[in-house]
Chains A and B, each alone.
Chain A
């Protein structure tokens, strides 16, 4: 039986500064706006790593260049949610809910995708949010579970055989969401009992960062390698909110982010062909730096897409420019809707994707051309 294709969604919480991650080094305004924190052009000391003659990777992401060169990794720039405001919390929620007018839809975009492609009557785990709580993007499907750690996911009572039926009885008939979560616990316990994902070893040459993000990626690979049938995995990396001293604080989080992607790619081996990874952040940062050598909340940012079928080695952008008249209230203008990127990924991975229901009211803008 063919293996289930898996989509891994990485949310970079805190608003990644797309301008200092995929650097528009040929746009002269970039250097005018950021005298303290700009990344020097490729070829200079501590300069960026050239991607396509227009954009350069932040040098802290050097480890991604081989994936880019191998055609497995693409960047999308000046991308974002045109319906976002500049609040982290409401912008993250709007992006994960992906309704047409900010809120206005039940559940999240991945939850709706799973609910509208549900095939079987029997319940199984099709989506996993790695963490103690479910990511909002997965809400709206009953076939999803938040799992902080597959190794810890066991009933540790020494009376587990008695507790299991007793808890099922005690939880039955209370509020439906409570009953449903309780049932999901037992579904996952059974699944892990059969497949034992936590016992799958990491490939010898794969080195995940020793952080919760690195651990989440490692677990994602274990679920894929154990063939538990999961279609969507969400995980998070925080630490992107650099209002001050950005060049001290951005490189370490980029280092973690990039090393994690490389480790995942290595660890998955041949299974990588069946996997797509996409990263997203709630908005970008103000084009002009502040006096504290940081950046405040902005608009457009960048996304990365990595996967077996992806036509990588490209920076996809309708570059709006950073000249004063091109800016959107001081920020990088959004020229590609993030939903165009996600819709293309869903359509590629699943022939039955119901995009009109996943992204209600959304009119596709542009063919991004990821595949």
Chain B
């Protein structure tokens, strides 16, 4: 399509004219999932699929630069996974920068306990920003993705009341310390963390009038899943097992209070916990749950839903669940089983990037220089998109399916983010879009270069033609014409399904 033709057809002046000329004829097109799920198989004009390595990078990272892609190509799929699953082998310069830039998130638990209202608000802001900073600039990309996954799985908000006193410790010593260890270690660390004891009321769970909040969410959300085979009686019995778990008044660390513990016999999921126990009653419950087949299946389902498709394919759930059983929930083993599964490559475009992924990915692909980090403004942009880190209040964590995120506001605010990022004096004022291309390029070359850098896959013929028409007329581009063309094409690519689909 020629530029003139595109502009005539799609009408800079007449949106209504465009809708009849170029839009799909019927918004009720067959195949629309009533819950708004993504079904690329029902697409009238599917996007050309990405190559398998690009598909793997899209799923295992928040963002990818051209240099990241070249490095992964050199390593191959196995080598790339080996590297990402050994984050200690990757430089941690960005983590040091993050610690220096967001110092209040490094406060030890005992000191953070004395944080006043102003400091609490600083913790809320700085931890959210640090999470974005690391998600964008760290080369330990799969590690950051798993930190996000477990942060949702063991969700605790970092806003309400005094939770910011304990949440940074939870982030460091529960989530980050165990993101690549075993599910059992992660579960145990979460159960004894002051943040969880506060958030789900474990510290007020006492023999004389147990509090069931933690017991229920432990089984429903952390281990077995709502259909995992526990009963209301199990909820009550598990609550009894955890009576007396609390927090030391001086150190602010976990402490067991025997005088508040119900030492009677309990029966949990058919297993008798004998009378006379203490802290080991709750520990026995954690062990029982971490080894339960429902936990293997539940964690496998959530991982496959996160990395593969909203409707988790059964064969892959089966494989990851089996790997869980065989490895006692060793997290790197589960991830290898998932990414190396023969079906993994079949699910390109079945996931929508969540807003956090979208924002970190756009920042990294556009300009991976951490010294250009745009600052607190990012939080208000992410707030419009609905996914500020650590700001989901219910214990189930941010939703992980497109039916939640693919909304009118959600889509519009992604377009606006892309515009804000690339347009002159936008989010990264120091990084003009022309830095991604070279002076003297033709419109075709500019579109191909930006597609290679930002979306790393072939465009549909009609999309490529339209973007070339937008980039300009024949002949080499330079100066302001080059920058304007780069802004428009880069912005539209980042706003398009090529970049929004994960």
Contact = CB atoms under 8 A, between A and B. Distances in A.
B2 interface: no
Interface in B394-417: 394, 396, 399, 402-413, 415-416
A244 B419 CA distance: 46
Nearest to A132: B386
Given A139-B34, A152-B384, A291-B204, A177 B406 contact: yes
Nearest to A180: B27
Contact of B24 (A86, A172, A184): A172
Contact of B462 (A132, A147, A169): A169
A205 interface: no
A153 interface: yes
Interface in B210-268: 210-213, 216, 220-221, 226, 232, 235
Nearest to B221: A89
Contacts of A45: none
Interface string A162-175: 11111111111111
Nearest to B419: A157
B212 A296 contact: yes
Contacts of B349: 174-175
B209 A292 contact: yes
B464 to A, nearest CB: 11
Contacts of A173: 24, 43-46, 460
Contacts of A170: 463, 466, 492, 495-498
B153 to A, nearest CB: 13
A146 B492 CA distance: 23
A236 to B, nearest CB: 11
Contacts of A163: 415, 419, 491-492, 495
Contacts of A129: 407
Nearest to A150: B409
Given A139-B36, A148-B409, A166-B466, A289 B209 contact: yes
A185 interface: yes
B42 interface: yes
A107 interface: yes
A178 B419 CA distance: 20
Interface in A115-149: 123, 129, 131-134, 136, 139-140, 142, 145-149
A244 B38 contact: no
Contacts of A356: none
A29 to B, nearest CB: 17
B300 to A, nearest CB: 19
A111 B23 contact: no
A167 B38 contact: no
Contact of A133 (B31, B47, B405, B423): B405
23 contacts: A87-B216, A89-B394, A106-B35, A107-B35, A132-B410, A133-B407, A139-B35, A146-B410, A152-B409, A153-B408, A153-B409, A161-B13, A163-B492, A166-B492, A169-B22, A169-B462, A173-B45, A175-B40, A180-B27, A180-B28, A190-B15, A243-B212, A296-B213
Interface of B: 10-13, 15, 18-19, 22-24, 27-40, 42-47, 200-201, 204-206, 208-213, 216, 220-221, 226, 232, 235, 349, 352, 384-386, 393-394, 396, 399, 402-413, 415-416, 419-420, 423, 460, 462-463, 466-467, 470, 487-488, 491-492, 495-498, 500-501
Interface of A: 13-14, 85-90, 106-107, 111, 123, 129, 131-134, 136, 139-140, 142, 145-149, 152-153, 155-159, 161-186, 188-190, 238, 241, 243-244, 289-292, 294, 296-297, 329
